A and B are shown apart, each in its own frame.
Chain A
Amino acid sequence: MVLARIEGNVVATRKHPSFEGWRLLICQPIGLAGEPEGTPQVAIDAQGAGLHERVIISSDGSAARAAVGDPKSPARWMVIGIVDETGTGATT
């Protein structure tokens, strides 16, 4: 799983049938301070993440297949949660 920021979305008419109706979001992996790390991934989203929101994306294919409801889907990256806050955990 990686921390990422939503930087846009992708529109595609011709696609694997399992992606029908799913939002395809461009997710830029980021570090704790929000700096970009590596190249963006396109992930499916059922959480309703908005532009520039921070999320956690997971590369677990079996969970993504369960989410799209097709055991033969190649789906892999999926938004699994929207970030509330990040920090070091220190209280002061």
Chain B
Amino acid sequence: MRLGTVIGRVTLSKTVEDLRGARWLVVSPFTSEHYKRASKAPVVSKEPSLVVYDDLGGGVGQTIGFIEGREAAMPFDKPTPIDAIDAVLVDKIFYSPMQ
């Protein structure tokens, strides 16, 4: 999973039947530099942002851990066209890179 800052939300009018009512977050992924200053104000990174399915209740400004790829659809009973899911709402990051 990668970490990222929630920078926005998306709501859909017309959607795939199984995903009606789902929450979607626009997330800006962390780069190594972001880990160092994660405790300070969240910043938008140069990494391409992405839309993440959310059922934990993540909000704008929060840091989340999201999982990409086929694994993102595993919590669903039926095959679902999801490739990124919010898996953890981050409370604290302990980061100490080797000098």
Contacts and interface: CB of A to CB of B under 8 A. Distances in A.
Contact of B3 (A15, A16, A42): A42
Contacts of B70: 61
B43 interface: no
A14 B56 contact: yes
B16 interface: no
Kindly name the residue among A5, A10, A16, A75 whose own CB sees the greatest number of chain B CB atoms within 10 A: A10
Contacts of B72: 74
Contacts of B32: 28, 36, 39-40
Contacts of A73: 74-75
B74 A10 contact: no
B21 interface: no
A44 to B, nearest CB: 9
B29 to A, nearest CB: 7
Interface size class of A (residues with CB under 8 A): 35 or more
Interface string A40-77: 11110000000110000001010011000001111111
Interface in B84-99: 85, 87-98
A39 B74 contact: no
B8 interface: no
A13 interface: yes
B47 to A, nearest CB: 7
Contact of A41 (B2, B76, B90, B95): B2
A55 to B, nearest CB: 13
Contact of A10 (B3, B56, B75): B3
B69 A76 contact: yes
A88 to B, nearest CB: 22
B96 A8 contact: yes
Give the 9 A-B CB pairs with smallest separation, nearest first: A61-B71, A12-B88, A8-B95, A15-B88, A11-B92, A14-B89, A76-B71, A8-B94, A42-B1
